Amino acid sequence: MRPLWLCWALWALPLAGPGAALTEERVLGSLLRQLRLSEAPVLDEADVERLIIPAHVRAQYVALLQRSHGARSRGKRFSQNFREVAGRFLVSEVSSHLLVFDMEQRLPPHSELVQAVLRLFQEPVPKAALRSHERLFPRSDRARGTVQWLHVRDDGSNRTSLIDSRLVSIHESGWKALDVTDAVNFWQQLRRPRQPLLLQVSVQREHLGPLASSAHRLVRFASQGPSGAGQREPQLELHTLDLKDYGAQGNCDPKAPVTKGTRCCRREVYIDLQGMKWAENWVLEPPGFLAYECVGTCQQPPEPLTFKWPFLGPRQCTASETTSLPMIVSIPEGGKPRPQVVSLPNMRVQKCSCASDGAPVPRKLEP
């Protein structure tokens, strides 16, 4: 039997990073957490041999097993490339703009979006208006710029999602950049390539209240360039990565050894539960399972991103999709063992990808 202090350590031990090799300690630690136990129970072999698994327990186990093949947990994503999409002002008012971008065939196939940057040109404030504002509000020269994704539903109703918000100064002019990655990610989830991307940009007061500054009325974004050249139209930069060069290759070649030059892939790892001492008379199903692990290296992007996330590390081979592992265990109850179904999360790697530690996980579009 394991020492009590070791079992408590395993219970509190967090799982290793996605894609890391699955160890005996990780399986035991996850099982103890799910059952809220401090150590593995010691069961009599004779009692377990006479144990009959009821039909409803086995049906629950089979249902979880089938579900685990379809339900996947997504990990982090990261990629790099660049292409630019010109947009136009569909509706433009004093402090609100509706932008439209034709997205059909803008994102190449077999690519992954890492970042989308919206660039807007802020016009300089006339000197007379600037002096008048400084007399009324000498300590307030900023407004808040907000961008929202506009989703037009099939029934004609509209829905907006906040994408980015930042402060802008009335003393500045030129191109401003906002991160609209979530908006393009939401648009992709609609799976309607012919539907344009609609972004609603608004300029609001920095603070609320009757005495709040009116600096937001002085912030203007250009709707057309000088002499009709269109050089100040909104621009959408799409940073993507060609997965043929920068992505993972799928499953590893079982005949080839993994070296430093091996491209990121998924390697088979069989976990033999019957061969583990602590699992005797406790784990009834399964006797073992294919866990897989992510091995190999990833090519690094050659160019920096427009926006840098804090603590963004190099791209590594990691699990981007995982599934749970259902189990049937015997639990002591009233002096006799009772079969119970438990599901251990993130036990089996379904897909390996190249990802950067610290990169944000794309949000899912809510109904």
| Alpha-carbon dihedral sign for residues 336, 341, 346, 350 | positive
How many angstroms separate the CA atoms of 266 and 162, rounded? 36
The CATH superfamily holding the domain 16-77+247-356 is Cystine-knot cytokines (2.10.90.10)
- What pLDDT score was predicted for residue 7? 37
Domain extents in the chain: 16-77+247-356, 83-242
Which pTM does this prediction carry?
0.61
Q: What is the predicted pLDDT for the residue at 144?
A: 87
Q: How far apart are CA 263 and CA 315, in angstroms?
A: 12
* Angle, CA 86 vertex, CA 232 and CA 107 arms, to 5°: 155
According to DSSP H, which parts of 98-147 are helical?
A: 127-136
Residues of the chain with pLDDT under 50: 1-18, 74-84, 224-230
DSSP 222: -
- How many helices and strands, by DSSP H and E, does the chain display? 7, 17
Q: Are 288 and 327 in contact (CB under 8 A)?
A: no
Are β-strands 197-205 and 96-101 bridged in parallel, bridged antiparallel, or unpaired? antiparallel
How many Å apart are CA 128 and CA 135, to the nearest integer? 11
Domains 16-77+247-356 and 83-242 share a fold: no
Per-residue pLDDT at 180: 92
Tens digits of residue pLDDT in 209-237: 665 677 778 888 876 444 444 457 888 88
The number of angstroms, rounded, from the C-alpha of 261 to the middle of its chain's C-alpha atoms is 27
Q: Which pLDDT score, from 0 to 100, does residue 198 have?
A: 92
Where do we find the tokens 């049906």? Answer: 59
SS3 of residue 193 by DSSP = coil
CATH ID of 83-242, from 3.30.230, 2.60.120, 3.40.640, 3.20.20: 2.60.120
